[in-house]
Amino acid sequence: MYEGDSSNLEPQPPEESSNRTFLIAAGILGGIVLLSIACLAGYALLILPGQQKAGQQAASANATQNSLVAQGLTATFQAVTFPTATVTPSQTPVVAQASDTPIPITPTNTQDPATATVAAALTLAAQAQLTHVPTSTALPGTGIGDQYGAPGLVIAGIALVAVIFLARRLRAAPTK
């Protein structure tokens, strides 16, 4: 076999020159990718830190409010449980002579503030259980099943299945 003669081989198609449409599409897609990366970087550097700072401020404000509520509960509990010392006036004659009177030391019943707070919270929870909250026993009358009922839903399902079969048949039908 003679290899030098290539005249009996099939003709080769001419080589394509630069595919301008492909290069334009690739450039547009590359630009979109670079633009999306720039947008993500801008979001991560500009918007996200502000959102995190706002979340931290909201958490600290919530903690401050919770501590104020705990202090209020403690004060309310202490005001309710500890009676105020009121001295009733008595008919005691006034002594004209000064004498040395010892000051009696009265024991104080002080509680731990955390215990008082927990007790106040439990008291409020018990009071909340005593209040009657009305609840609805009827189901809402909204939704497609409530509007059309079961027969309407069955008819709509049959109609949609018919549309599927018609669409498949029209696709399979030969065109002229």
Instruction: Express each pLDDT in 126-165 by its tens digit.
Output: 877 776 667 777 777 777 777 778 888 999 999 999 999 9
For 67-97, write each residue's pLDDT tens digit. 999 888 888 888 777 766 666 777 776 666 6
Burial label for 120, CB within 10 Å (0-12, 13-18, 19+), is buried
- Picking from 158, 82, 141, the residue whose alpha carbon sits closest to that of residue 113 is 82
What was the pLDDT predicted at 27?
A: 95
What was the pLDDT predicted at 156?
A: 92
Q: Give start and end residues of each alpha helix (H) in the chain.
A: 20-42, 48-81, 113-130, 144-172
Rounded mean pLDDT, 42-54: 93
pLDDT band per the 50, 70, 90 thresholds, residue 43: very high
Q: Which residues contact 119 (CB under 8 A, 6 or more apart)?
A: 77, 81
pLDDT band per the 50, 70, 90 thresholds, residue 108: low
Mean pLDDT of the chain: 81
